[in-house]
Amino acid sequence: MSHNTWVHKISHAIVVRPLLRTSATPNHLTTLRLATGIAASALVASGMPAATNVGAGLFFVSIILDRADGDLARQTNQQSKKGHNYDLIADGLCNTMIFLALGYGLLGSSYGLFAPVMGIIAGLSVSGILAYAIHLERQKGPRAGEIGGVCGFDPDDGILAVPVALWLGWAEQLLLAAAIGTPIFATMYFFYFKFLKKTR
């Protein structure tokens, strides 16, 4: 993930800058990121429109906090391997759970029993990306699994589609796109770092 995206700039302005002179630590933000991600998933899993909208809002907050914890660590010289691993794990858990929750919440939709299966496919694909990113960092060092950003956005910003789609009432379309798109992206991610990047 890049560190200078538009989302990072927003999180820096509204979260990091006010905390610079406080006792808040990056791990505090990561823990809050995890808590809001879990709460968001629970609400989305209910399948109720009002709860889903609130869950979408909490998940958006969780995304902002995900950008803020690393920024706060850099700004206050509190970077650590353990903190970075905690951040990666929290990120993977939140992004995996939201798709599992989405699938469960859509049991009553036109997808029926296929909805949880679609959520599992998307969730496992996200977990696979995280696992491989951690593997790359252990083998080649920090940020080895990073894909650079373009025009102020990076691939990780794609997760913003989740709260936006939920607010717009496009939960079913989101689940279908995730069930198809995340395995494709996971496959491309693996092949890029396994075969393409090392040849450049």
Q: Angle CA(194)–CA(184)–CA(198) in degrees, nearest 5?
A: 15
Beta bridge partners of 150: 153
Residue in 144, 185, 137 with CA at minimum distance from that of residue 161 = 185
What pTM was computed for the model? Answer: 0.92
What are 2-20's pLDDT values in tens digits?
567 889 899 999 999 999 9
Distance CA 160, CA 137 (A): 25
Label residue 147 by pLDDT band (50, 70, 90): confident
pLDDT score recorded for residue 58:
98
Cβ neighbours of residue 172 closer than 8 Å, sequence gap 6 or more:
106, 109, 110, 111
- pLDDT tens for 50-96 read 999 999 999 999 999 999 999 999 999 999 989 988 999 999 999 99
Within the chain, residue ranges assigned H as helices are 6-11, 17-19, 26-45, 49-75, 81-105, 114-140, 161-167, 171-191
Q: What is the pLDDT of residue 148?
A: 74
